[in-house]
Copies of this chain bind each other. A is one copy, B any other.
Amino acid sequence: MVPRYTRPEMAAIWAPENRYGIWFEIEALAAEAMAEAGDIPAEAARAIRARGAPALAAIGPADIERIDAIERETRHDVIAFLTWLAEAIGPDSRFVHQGLTSSDVLDTCLSVQMTQAADLLLADLDAVLAALKRRAFEHRDTLTIGRSHGIHAEPTTFGLKLAGHYAEFARNRARLLAARAEVAVCAISGAVGTYAHVDPRVETYVAERLGLVPETHSTQVIPRDRHAAFFCTLGLIASAIERLATEVRHLQRSEVREAEEFFHPGQKGSSAMPHKRNPVLSENLTGLARVVRAAVTPALENVALWHERDISHSSVERVIAPDATMALDFALARLAGMMEKLTIYPDRMAANLDSLGGVVHSGEVLLALTRAGILREDAYRIVQRNAMATWEGLGQPGARSFRDNLLADAEVAGRVDAATIDAALDPAFHRRQVGAIFARVFGAEDPAAGGAAHGGAG
């Protein structure tokens, strides 16, 4: 991933230092397990750790260049590493990697890296969830117009909008936990997964100490449906980011102005137009969502490896594993910050809510007319007629509000009185169920979500 969209913690997971450290840990643990089983001398296992661990702890650019040089000769990355490691360990190095195949090391390492990445992303999600929850409660009762098709529909509250996004991110958190479990597997099963040269107990031993579980049945590799499921989940999270970013972009439109990304002192929106304050963060997030999602198809194409494995998945994963996790880590962090600092304009929400002369209450008026005994089809016609007349009069001199149009309608007058109409036009009752929905979304664990406070919200 380009540095612009990379944060150091996630980058460290995919750095060679971390990778070699995990490789060594797998080899050292495997040696311990083999020693325990009597397959190699116990002193050898101890020597491997005693001499290898400091070498890995001190690994630096010169070592990495040395390993790269050996790889240029052998054209094999694991053999290059083992050769370098042998120099540090000495004669006992012949007990390293016994009965293992490269993929045992590579695939188990990738599992560790992916779980590490998942843990960072889970923390990122928690920050997004915290920001959404705080702002949702802050604006639990702030009335705003709900929009379907971009058209004013009926009132809702800004807190409810955010609660919906919170619920989606909460679902994604659960999905990521499941995806983490999918890839938290260890395979030390040899060349074609038959444990021909390695005891299955080695796998169990290594898995346990790395926080993994043994793969049910590996071939030479851990099957790639697991990784594909992981990247699909990243794609779902990216799409949730896009949905929230799109909402913010809409709210910041010049004609809407209900919310705005925080504008830093010193920031410049446009080199040519000094008046501009653009929703650049949310637009950026929209693009990053596309970038993360781009990993889904190649990950699915990686599943159908030939026979017990081919290595076509490897170049793909060298690119998409760091890139997709880095871009998503960056995007979630940016999103959390953006939502934390989002400037929210309740006055503009109120103004927009009232801007269509009251037609947004047509649904409740329709029900009121139906309750008054007018056939639904007739009621629909009456309400549509008066809503359209109100709409078309918007901004015209002498225009009438929806209320006045209704009361002047011959089919309404005499059948429904003004008080009934006024009750139907009162936005207050749209808040009636906010408390109940909040309780479902945020659960009982939040004190603010309960009891009296919500009664007052009705």
Contact = CB atoms under 8 A, between A and B. Distances in A.
Contact of A232 (B235, B252, B313, B360): B235
A146 B315 contact: no
A271 B318 contact: no
A425 interface: no
A283 interface: yes
Interface in A124-144: none
A164 interface: yes
Nearest to A223: B168
Interface in A280-306: 280, 283-284, 286-291, 293-298, 300-306
Centre residue among A195, A304, A323 by max chain B CB count within 10 A: A304
Interface string A34-48: 000000000000000
Interface stretch (A55-63, A112-120, A236-244, A414-422): A236-244
B312 A287 contact: yes
A156 B216 contact: no
Given A298-B291, A314-B284, A150 B279 contact: yes
B146 A191 contact: yes
Interface string A208-219: 000000101111
A79 B271 contact: yes
A2 interface: yes
A146 to B, nearest CB: 3
Contacts of A278: 148-151, 311
A82 to B, nearest CB: 7
Given A236-B229, A267-B76, A305 B243 contact: yes
A267 B74 CA distance: 4
A271 B146 CA distance: 16
A41 to B, nearest CB: 12
Contact of A160 (B193, B297, B309, B383): B193
Contact of A101 (B149, B243, B272, B391): B272
A296 to B, nearest CB: 6
B293 A300 contact: yes
B200 A307 contact: no
Contact of A310 (B148, B307, B351): B148
Interface in A75-123: 75-76, 78-79, 82-83, 86, 93-94, 97-102
A318 to B, nearest CB: 6
20 contacts: A148-B270, A150-B253, A150-B254, A161-B308, A167-B216, A175-B229, A193-B437, A217-B441, A250-B307, A255-B256, A272-B366, A273-B362, A274-B362, A274-B387, A276-B362, A286-B312, A287-B302, A287-B316, A319-B327, A323-B323
Chain A at the B interface: mostly helix, strand, loop or mixed?
Answer: helix
A320 interface: yes
A333 interface: no
Nearest to A279: B149
Interface residues on A, range: 35 or more
A306 B250 contact: yes
Contacts of A102: 270-272
A82 B363 CA distance: 17
A308 B250 contact: no
Contacts of A283: 149, 310-312, 314
Contacts of A220: 146, 148, 153
Contacts of A352: 254-255
Contacts of A252: 150-151
Given A284-B315, A366-B272, A75 B264 contact: yes
A142 to B, nearest CB: 13
Centre residue among A150, A275, A391 by max chain B CB count within 10 A: A275
Given A370-B94, A429-B196, A296 B232 contact: yes
